[in-house]
Amino acid sequence: MSLSSGDDEPLLHGGDLGAARRLFPGAVEPFIDLSTGINPNPYPVRRFSAAQLARLPDPESLSQLVRAAARAYGATSAEHVVPAPGTQILLPLVAGLAPPGRAAVLAPGYPEHARAATLAGHTVRAIHRLEECGDATLVMVGNPNNPDGKLFARSDLLALANDLRRRNGVLVVDEAFMDVGPRDMSLAADVACGNVVVLRSFGKFFGLAGLRLGFALTAPPLAARLSASLGPWAVSGPALAVGVAALTDGDWIEGTRRGLAAAATRLDAILNGAGLDVVGGTTLFRLTRTDAASALFRHLGRAGILTRAFTDQATWLRFGLPASEPDWRRLQIAMAEFRGSR
Amino acid sequence: MSLSSGDDEPLLHGGDLGAARRLFPGAVEPFIDLSTGINPNPYPVRRFSAAQLARLPDPESLSQLVRAAARAYGATSAEHVVPAPGTQILLPLVAGLAPPGRAAVLAPGYPEHARAATLAGHTVRAIHRLEECGDATLVMVGNPNNPDGKLFARSDLLALANDLRRRNGVLVVDEAFMDVGPRDMSLAADVACGNVVVLRSFGKFFGLAGLRLGFALTAPPLAARLSASLGPWAVSGPALAVGVAALTDGDWIEGTRRGLAAAATRLDAILNGAGLDVVGGTTLFRLTRTDAASALFRHLGRAGILTRAFTDQATWLRFGLPASEPDWRRLQIAMAEFRGSR
């Protein structure tokens, strides 16, 4: 088994507190993890029925989940929805929907997009604007993009998809953070056009990244290809049960959107108060730019607060949301100390 | 979303009680599901910690799981172990480890093997004996095989692997039922030879098919390719936690092996007593052959007992193990009634 974060790359992804503890051995505990864009206050669940764990996930529950996801995400029908054990495992599969060729992948962006495109046999080129796609037959962009929160207009993405269609190409729009984005910018209702795949993450907004649940929204022919690769029991019994409950819980969803927006505003005040520029993000994470990024990352690490640094963007630091008042307080104090020390 | 059991193929796989209820609308309830080879008395678990559900599955827990699996299955090191959300999702990936060419797939066998080989771009041929592999570059066999329980000698499989290696071919041995097989016939310790993949299912023996956990055991270069496709968070937090606990619980494992063997003997007595020939199986399922298979399937269905029929083998009926004394009793009565009605 490989592909865990090795010691040489302790911060390849967010969320790895083991790596953080090796990096900051004397840090204050418990560690506060602000290195991801995962909602720290999850949809409530702990216990599962015996049948959910024991039996093969059944087609009826899967249909329920797919219908709930179609409604929640605004897909035009359940035929457009492919559930999976997380969107991560979908990335090489959706990249494989385009015949191997040139792939254009947004940078900065989610690094797994480029890895997946390479795995699927594409030659990968980083692009910074949609206009740079050239003759690519696969384009992968985040919308909102991670880590900068950049948004792309529906009309621009649909024009790009139209262009790609002429050369049998596929557009993948990773809407992992669209639950807190301007939802009218989602392409979920547009996937019937044939060559667009929208990825929706369940674990981030609902704060249940350990459950492993995610969706591809796409036209039925592509959906059938993805479903065939995943097989009949890709989603676990617990994920089926929680997925249906959470995606149909409109009150929790609306309340959480408001709560996250308020938390993001509060976080911005702390970051601004410490002299940082917030240059982007969503209400699940905030991106700051500062020449002191590396020093601040280490200062916070020693204080037991893990943030997300970027090897290729030395001046960036990304902050997720604290889970509780004590965590907010620790962050506030650590940021004030840092400002005081400069 | 497609690939659920449609109404036209209600019994493509075992375990679909929804399809059974549509097929036998007036059946006695609750339905008893004997259509799978899943242990009906699961490893005990219901509740998970908040962190197991909320956080991204962490590399340390994954390492623990991989080490536990290596020990439990007899792999020579953790480097040979690739964990996945069930072996089902691994099938197209392991089939893709051989360059697209001719695949030989054991028949009768698990139908998903042929489907996975086709998905991976191979031309699939059914074989009945290892000697019929010809110039195949991918061979997929069950050991013990499902549904007939057929066993292949390690020496024969290793000779085949040796032969395949000369033409850059891969041997996939699906040991989904080897937990209850003669464990000295497992190839788990032989995968270092380079072109053998052993698949181990967690959910069947531990009775937790809804959790989605399974493993590929193979040489590190192939393991790295599989891990790259699965990505860093393929296995859920609940599956990581339960997997480590169950795979290291030697007492439960040994007790369960004995209990399943006793249950299989008891099931054979009921089947024999009703005039059926038990022609194969493992201690998790028994295969019977009878000209009355179709009539018996329907008789049991109406009595609220789902067994596994085979569209391509009209005289076969496969029985899993009842979960409880009331279920045993209902099976016994239904079988006696059937015998009396002939």
Is A294 touching B (CB cutoff 8 A)?
no
Cα–Cα separations (whole angstroms), residue A274 to A267, A270, A290, B13, B80 = 11, 6, 11, 60, 48
What pLDDT sits at residue B1?
56
Binary contact (B85, A81; C-beta < 8 A): no
Q: Which has the closest alpha carbon to B211: B181, B248, B237, B249?
A: B237
Which band of pLDDT confidence, cut at 50, 70 and 90, is reported for residue A340? confident
Residues of A in contact with B47 (CB under 8 A): 46-48
| pLDDT, tens digit (0-9, with 9 covering 90-100), for A3-60 | 443 333 445 688 899 999 999 999 999 999 999 999 999 999 978 999 999 999 999 9
Binary contact (B89, A223; C-beta < 8 A): no
| Residue in A62, A212, A229 nearest the CB of B85 | A212
| pLDDT, tens digit (0-9, with 9 covering 90-100), for A221-278 | 999 999 999 999 999 999 999 999 999 999 999 999 999 999 999 999 999 999 999 9
Give Rg (Cα) of chain B. 20
Binary contact (A231, B66; C-beta < 8 A): no
Binary contact (B223, A1; C-beta < 8 A): yes
* CA-based nearest residue in chain B for residue A205: B54
Alpha-carbon gap, residue B118 to B141, rounded angstroms:
15
Side-chain half-sphere CA neighbours of B3 within 13 A: 24
What pLDDT sits at residue B115?
97
What pLDDT sits at residue A1?
56
| pLDDT, tens digit (0-9, with 9 covering 90-100), for B47-67 | 899 999 999 999 999 999 999
CB contact residues (below 8 A), chain A span 95-114, against chain B: 112
Alpha-carbon gap, residue A14 to A112, rounded angstroms:
12
What pLDDT sits at residue B7?
39
Which value does ipTM take for this structure?
Answer: 0.93
The whole-angstrom distance between A50's CA and the closest CA on chain B is 7
- Report the sign of the C-alpha dihedral through residues A116, A117, A123, A129, in that order: negative
Q: Mean pLDDT across the stretch A204-208?
A: 98
Is B51 touching A (CB cutoff 8 A)?
yes
Beta-strand relationship, A285-289 and A277-282: antiparallel
* CA-based nearest residue in chain B for residue A202: B54
pTM here? 0.94
* The two three-digit tokens of residue B230, written as one number: 């699965």
Alpha-carbon gap, residue A22 to B316, rounded angstroms:
57
Task: Encode B270-290: b = buried (16+ Cβ within 10 Å), e = exposed.
Answer: bbeebebebebbbbbbbbbeb
Alpha-carbon gap, residue A59 to A74, rounded angstroms:
22
What pLDDT sits at residue B341?
84
- The residues with which B231 forms a beta bridge, in sequence order, are none
| pLDDT, tens digit (0-9, with 9 covering 90-100), for A164-182 | 999 999 999 999 999 999 9
Binary contact (B45, A38; C-beta < 8 A): no
Consecutive 10-residue averages of pLDDT for chain B (342 residues)? 42 84 94 96 92 95 98 97 98 97 96 97 97 97 97 98 97 98 96 97 98 98 98 97 97 98 98 95 97 96 96 94 97 94 80
Alpha-carbon gap, residue B85 to A119, rounded angstroms:
20
| Residue in B56, B208, B232 nearest the CB of A3 | B232
Element (H, E) at A267: helix A250-273
CB A222 within 8 A of CB A97: yes
Binary contact (B208, A42; C-beta < 8 A): no
For A206, list phi and psi in degrees, rounded to 5. -85, 0
Binary contact (A50, B58; C-beta < 8 A): no
Residues of A in contact with B208 (CB under 8 A): 53-54
Q: Three-state SS across B60-116?
A: HHHHHHHHHHHHHHCCCCHHHEEEECCCHHHHHHHHCCCCCCEEEEECCCCHHHHHH
CB contact residues (below 8 A), chain B span 116-135, against chain A: 119
